Structure 1
């Protein structure tokens, strides 16, 4: 008799909790949603986040407010999200650094696959193999030949140790059996200034960062890291075409919520993300910045994050790109 009563109480409690969760999801969002960005205002990641936030606000019927928490390659914003309530009102516009950081930093402050609930994959930005105009290299093979002739004498710039620019260039050099010296800067801007001046010779940097100086003739773009050429520069070959078959490296972006966020809220958010990404206006704005529009389900993003976590872990191990 007591067992039967306990089971009935447990079932009632379960139904009550499920009902509460469903009710919360039905009422969500009842107030503005914060979208944390781990980088400075006006930067390429921030620009994409704001384009999407504006459209997401229209889809959800509540403002989506971008809040910049810059620093530590995005780790500050990610840690802030981990500490936020799991109610769908605080989200993070993350980059691929979210799965790279745990391999690079001893204590990044979060575990991406444990502390966050994937909501949706939004976009990806290819990287560009770019060189200073001070060297005689007009094609990927030219640069490879120069580096091969003088191992370790050519320098490549990145925005910091363990940044995707660093890891992509290191991975490319490793695949080609070449040696060059990494020069880490505190951000993309100073790295680009020295590359233009010729203090360093090459880099792999995001397309939306490279477009301006390449079009101004300050840098030379040799190849792109996506599998297909970009429509904005159709003459620019891929690295897979010219140097390493099958090579691809993308600085991808997405949105995550704190772990424990109700599944109905995640699904509602995911629907809004996909609707925003399907907007011709959004797609045009992103394409102008060299950004590939993605999308997909919550489950798709969960699997993608897990695969990328494993992939970049192997790259960091191979390159030794760690910060203690």
Structure 2
């Protein structure tokens, strides 16, 4: 009996061998058309080719990524539901909300796919062309300028609050469900400023429809080498950017997580996939499951400090 039982593969190994035998959904907690959505679709196409099953993107935007995150957290832990997570869903929300509908730690970390800088955009109709000029205008007109974000608790929101705190200015936050709403609001003049992902905002800068005041990373972006960072314009500690990582509901078999991690890392080495990421302004990351866990463990205390520094009120 012992010999016979030893010949039977472990349950998780058997699950991994059979997985995926049906379509897999990737929940994206933001609207279609933004960087998170595009990266998820590129990833889904690549994973579909590797595993010969459809990986279908399902957009569930709203509530600072909480609607989609909650849906993913409640899904069966069978490997057929994944979440394209980011700083809001995994880290920031726990410091902004007294009670969450999901547990940010109740996910199996799979792999970090990429990260990308945000860019501070302004309407050309406003009487400033640079970040220092905007700061001076905001100080002379407290509460007059507004800034859009792609959701409360997202990096675009925290970036705005950080700038308010570091520059000592009063600009009013206007949250949207994603870039598909926030960018038109800026273009139409409903808001003054917007911390957008560089991929969606830069084409409007090049077309002369918007002005770029600064990049939120410590280093300049290869996509916009002429746009200075906010850090180099007098705020040396300013360094914040969204990242994109695949997670699965808690309890998803380790063998399935391992297969997914290997597939993501394989894609990140392929020139065609890297070119697609570059078109969004994203830089490939990758690494092991343990690397992903360590990254989040390091971000939690850092983000808690940033949220306190920004002065964002808990809700």
- Same fold flag (TM > 0.5): yes
Equivalent positions of 1:103-118 (< 5 A) are 103-113=95-105, 115-118=106-109
Q: Residue 247 of structure 2 aligns with which residue?
A: 256
Q: 1: distance between equivalents of 2:127 and 2:68? A: 41
1:29 pairs, out of 3, 20, 29, with 20
Distance (Å, rounded) in 2 between the aligned partners of 1:317 and 1:240: 19
CA distance in 2, matches of 1:320, 1:31: 46
SS at match of 2:242: strand
For structure 1, list consecutive stretches of 5 or more residues without a partner in the other structure. 1-8
- Cα displacement (A) at 1:92: 0.9
Shift, 1:258, TM fit? 1.0
Shift of 1:187: 4.1
| 1:1-324 mapped onto 2 (5 Å cutoff) | 19-98=10-89, 99-113=91-105, 115-322=106-313, 324=315
CA distance in 2, matches of 1:204, 1:278: 30
Distance 1:185 1:26, change over 3 A: closer
Question: 1:4 maps to what in 2?
Answer: none
What corresponds to 1:6 in structure 2?
Answer: none
Secondary structure of 2:117's counterpart equals: strand
Does 34-43 or 218-227 show the bigger shift? 34-43
CA contact (8 A) 2:87 2:154 kept: no
* Counterpart contact for 1:161–1:323, Cα < 8 Å: no
Residues 16, 97 of structure 1: CA spacing in aligned structure 2 closer, same or farther, 3 A cutoff?
A: farther
**1:205 is paired with a residue of what secondary structure?**
strand
The Cα of 1:149 is off from its aligned counterpart by: 3.3
Query: Could you give the per-residue CA deviations for residues 149-178 of structure 1, whole angstroms, max 9, x where no partner exists?
Result: 334333222234333212111112212233
Q: Distance in 1 between matches of 2:93 and 2:246?
A: 17
Bigger drift between 34-43 and 44-53 goes to 34-43
Give the stretch that moved more between structures: 166-175 or 139-148. Answer: 139-148
Are the equivalent residues in 2 in contact too, given 1:154–1:200 (CA < 8 A)? yes
Q: CA RMSD in A?
A: 2.5
Matches of 2:104 and 2:88 in 1, distance apart? 10
Quick check: which one's helix share is greater? 1
Q: What secondary structure is seen at the aligned counterpart in 2 of 1:72?
A: coil
Shift of 1:219: 0.8
* Large movers: runs of 4+ above 6 Å: 15-18
* Cα distance in 2, alignment partners of residues 203 and 34 from structure 1: 31
Contact 1:162 1:316 in 2 (8 A): no
Distance 2:304 2:96 in 1: 9
SS of equivalent residue, structure 2 residue 223: coil
Which TM-score applies when normalising by structure 2?
0.89
